[in-house]
A = this chain, B = another copy of it.
């Protein structure tokens, strides 16, 4: 990531500073690769994005030329958001570690999906591709002890899309409770759909929980509370929405049963593949109750599938061939090892801080006994989540999952330099 950003920024700066004036030819890909000591692929990628952002223009057979940057209007320039360039160490956990995903393997599955031309010529079923739903049905049976026929399973491009569908299926616009207050997107979707939303513990027709990620620092719902919730739901005929977000990472705690497996029917289960694969692959799924599935079937013509058909076909075969299981193991091991190592590094750099690894092994909570200057972090390209900040205390939530293992030491060092500067 750094090499790519280096080339991107070097060339961009040369253009802005007019070292490379408008209309001039940029160094050839091969020369730039030699110049910066990087591969031609890296240069190619940087040039590609410089074209996308309007700094360069590709001319067939003659190379790359500097565009007239005065023509890129101010607003456009402003919005060229290149997180890679500004953020050097992303400790928010929003991106993935490039070493964690086998791109070549995934490419093979995409290629194979693209060969299924007949299938690609038609729209997906509203619920999503049947064979992927069948594969997911097997996957959640094995992994989470959830028995659900493929008909009950609905695929969508992200949890938000699934919740919009869910809202449209629930007739009575009733009360929804979000005891985990951090899922703002979900709360707003229900509010937009004319539901009454609150964050009290129960006391609602619908209760939305993510038992494996109850807070930003990854607290896990204890089994006692799970049983209570399931019982409450049965007694009050409340609908529980179980968003099984990040359950894959529960490594150093005992695997906890899904509410769906504990419950007696009034539970909707939501899962996603983005964290296991790539953030840019938008495939999530939802297991409906019998009643809601029937409602969907009756009105199926009003729903259009949102997930890419090619990626659905690819993912189906990827799951069938057992890769999702091995990918889960791999990523869990890697992220957990990194969190441990990073916590150790932080203990060295900040001997006075209280440092703890969150229950789901992804996040580290660091409590400093002074007020840290957050803007210094930003200025140095370090993105963190600030849990709290008082006059004599700052608590940060740090997730090293996006940082390659080889850069953990540098990241900890940079964090120290920025905080103690």
Query: Which residues on A are within 8 Å of B, measured CB to CB?
Result: 1, 4, 41, 45, 48-49, 51-54, 73, 75-76, 79-81, 83-84, 94-98, 101, 103, 106-107, 110-111, 114-125, 130-131, 134-135, 149-151, 157-161, 164, 167-168, 184-185, 188-189, 192-194, 278-282, 299, 301-311, 316-317, 320, 402
Contacts and interface: CB of A to CB of B under 8 A. Distances in A.
A175 to B, nearest CB: 15
B308 A282 contact: yes
15 contacts: A49-B131, A52-B135, A53-B130, A76-B134, A79-B151, A81-B125, A96-B122, A107-B111, A107-B114, A121-B280, A122-B279, A164-B164, A184-B301, A185-B302, A185-B304
A343 B311 CA distance: 38
Contacts of A123: 94-95, 279-280
Contacts of A151: 75-76, 79
Contacts of A49: 119, 131
Contact of A114 (B106, B130, B282, B303): B106
* Interface-centre pick from A4, A189, A307 (highest chain B CB count, 10 A): A307
A11 to B, nearest CB: 16
Contact of A103 (B98, B117, B307): B117
Contacts of A119: 45, 49, 280
Contacts of A281: 308-310
Nearest to A188: B302
B130 A81 contact: yes
Nearest to A310: B280
A208 to B, nearest CB: 15
Closest CB pairs A-B (n = 7): A280-B309, A52-B131, A157-B306, A308-B308, A194-B194, A95-B122, A123-B279
Contacts of A83: 122
A282 B306 contact: yes
A69 to B, nearest CB: 14
Given A76-B150, A305-B282, A116 B164 contact: no
Contacts of A103: 114, 117, 120
A131 B150 CA distance: 37
A118 B87 CA distance: 14
B160 A306 contact: yes
A54 B188 contact: no
A304 B130 contact: no
Nearest to A316: B52
A10 to B, nearest CB: 16
Contact of A75 (B73, B149, B159): B149
Nearest to A132: B52
Nearest to A137: B76
Contact of A121 (B95, B135, B158): B95
A163 to B, nearest CB: 10
Nearest to A122: B95
B157 A307 contact: yes
